[in-house]
Amino acid sequence: MGLASMYEDYFRIGAACAPDRLDKQGMHIAEHYRSITAENCMKPMEIQPAEGLFDFRQADKLVDYAFEHQLDVRGHTLVWHNQTGEWMFKDGNNHVTKETLFSRMKTHIATVMARYPLIKSWDVINEAIADEDNRFLRESMYSRIAGESYIEHAFECAHEANQSANLFYNDYNESDPKKRDKIVRLLKGLLEKGIPVHGIGMQGHWNLYGPSIEEIQAAIEAYASLGLRIEVTELDLSLFDWNDRRCDLLEPTSEMLELQANRYDEIFSLFRSYKDVIDSVTFWGAADDYTWLSDFPVKGRKNWPFLFDDRFQPKESYKRVTHFSRLERV
């Protein structure tokens, strides 16, 4: 029985993938996951590298694979300050006006969502809140040109494009109390204005040492109290603390793997206890053979953040995450 089947009564388990990794990872994904997120190929820059030039070849490949294997797809992502063509913000040598920006956003969102009408969950806005304590909105071309209104506009366009889709705000450091409160403030404001936002994507780029379970729980509570659905969208547990730049390991130590198993165990039992509000948990990769963390924050330093090792074999973390009693199962 695969990982996702064990969690059938709780939430959907997913993995991020790229079309050119399907040859290697496809079988493993079909066995253990129920949902796929495009790691990069649905980002604005990939899908519309120049105005009006839509290229769906890579995204189609991933979506076709998913549907052939009865996997859901999470749409990621419609509006982001990163990995978006420069053209979006330019008019000749000048910045675009808000009106032009809004019309380009609308075209992008409508075209992409129309291409994939079966995708039920979309990350409409990615990472709009600032990390710095003294700022609310992230400084970006979007916020510079349109202030907070670009967020509302994006959700409205997405809702117009597909009224049955679940629309998400997605962000990282989502469990940090200060950033969490800012995200709550943003979402509360949107909901009060009647903007169609249905859920929060908690990215979940965490590590062995933080955030604490209490912080993660407090974040789940805070978001759920707004009446929003929760999807954990990009989970990985780095073996290194953020400031730890050591590069000497060719394989993880047994202490690290044990700590990781404990962390995964705690995190998944917390998730299970919130199954009424959590709809899915997606890992930002499928197994340790490939992770963006092997290039970030230290270029070329191998990391091992998942439940499966380089050869797709279950790690101790997997055993702990799937070892909940039948009694607990509903």
Query: Which residues are annotated as catalytic?
Result: 127, 234
Separation between Cα atoms, residue 275 and residue 229, nearest integer Å: 10
Q: Does 288 bind ligand GLA (CB under 6 A)?
A: no
Among 25, 121, 126, 140, binds ligand GLA (CB under 6 A): 126
Contact 87, 51 (CB under 8 A): yes
Is 25 or 126 the residue whose CB approaches ligand GLA more closely? 126
Residues 6+ apart with CB under 8 A from 173: 131, 179
Q: Does 290 bind ligand GLA (CB under 6 A)?
A: no
What separation in angstroms does the CA of 94 have from each of 45, 82, 89, 90, 218? 20, 19, 8, 6, 44
Is 166 or 238 the residue whose CB approaches ligand GLA more closely? 238
Contact 52, 33 (CB under 8 A): no
**In the complex, minimum distance from the CB of residue 203 to ligand GLA, in angstroms, rounded to a whole number:** 5
Is 89 or 169 the residue whose CB approaches ligand GLA more closely? 169
Is 22 or 79 the residue whose CB approaches ligand GLA more closely? 79
Closest residue (Cβ) to ligand GLA?
292
Q: Does 292 bind ligand GLA (CB under 6 A)?
A: yes
The strand pairing partners of 74, in sequence order, are: 37, 121
Q: Is 52 left (phi over 0), alpha (psi -120 to 50) or beta?
A: left
**In the complex, minimum distance from the CB of residue 94 to ligand GLA, in angstroms, rounded to a whole number:** 29
Contact 256, 313 (CB under 8 A): no
Q: Does 166 bind ligand GLA (CB under 6 A)?
A: no
Is 54 or 292 the residue whose CB approaches ligand GLA more closely? 292
Provide the mask over 184-203, with x wherever binding to ligand GLA is found by CB under 6 A and - wherever it is not.
-------------------x
What separation in angstroms does the CA of 233 have from each of 163, 236, 299? 22, 10, 24
Contact 19, 40 (CB under 8 A): no
Q: Does 54 bind ligand GLA (CB under 6 A)?
A: no
For CA atoms 142, 145, 150, 151, give the dihedral sign.
Answer: positive
Is 121 or 126 the residue whose CB approaches ligand GLA more closely? 126
Site for ligand GLA in 69-88 (CB under 6 A): none
Q: Quickly count: other Cβ atoms within 10 Å of residue 108's Cβ.
A: 22
Provide the mask over 225-244, with x wherever binding to ligand GLA is found by CB under 6 A and - wherever it is not.
---------x----------
**In the complex, minimum distance from the CB of residue 14 to ligand GLA, in angstroms, rounded to a whole number:** 13
Count residues binding ligand GLA (CB under 6 A): 5
**In the complex, minimum distance from the CB of residue 309 to ligand GLA, in angstroms, rounded to a whole number:** 20
Q: Quickly count: other Cβ atoms within 10 Å of residue 26's Cβ.
A: 18
Could you list the residues that contact ligand GLA (CB under 6 A)?
126, 172, 203, 234, 292
